[in-house]
Amino acid sequence: MSNKRALTTKISLLLILTNRTASNVSGRAINNYHFENIDHVKQFAYEEGFNIKEYSMLEVMNQITCLKPLEIEPEVVKSMLAIGSTFVLTLCNS
């Protein structure tokens, strides 16, 4: 198994455990409340009065300063950041 595939599998398992924990704590099936895709998220935000903009987590790669002291390979971090996004909500009227 490649390193990237192994990392993706670990992240997927972590998300499953996180969803299970959230479901147990909240008493609700979290999976029933997920958005279908980014367009679904944007539609929901707009209907609630917000604009939404997505930023790739890779945009912060050059700001991470702990890689060298911790001897973390940049490629490992890039593969982790590549699957993540940050979303910024602003009011529709601003």
Q: What is the DSSP letter of 49?
A: T
Q: What is the pLDDT of residue 49?
A: 94
Q: What is the pLDDT of residue 7?
A: 67
Domain boundaries, the chain: 1-34, 35-94
Tokens 């940049």, residue located: 74
Q: For residue 87, give the amino acid letter.
A: F
Which residues face 90 on adjacent strands? 51
Q: Are 79 and 4 in contact (CB under 8 A)?
A: yes
- Tens digits of residue pLDDT in 55-80: 888 888 888 888 888 888 888 888 88
Which residues face 85 on adjacent strands? 56
- pTM flag (> 0.75): no
Q: What is the pLDDT of residue 4?
A: 66
- Tens digits of residue pLDDT in 2-58: 666 776 777 778 778 888 888 888 888 777 777 778 888 889 999 999 999 888 888
Closest CA to 85 of 59, 55, 62, 64: 55
Rg (CA), the chain: 17
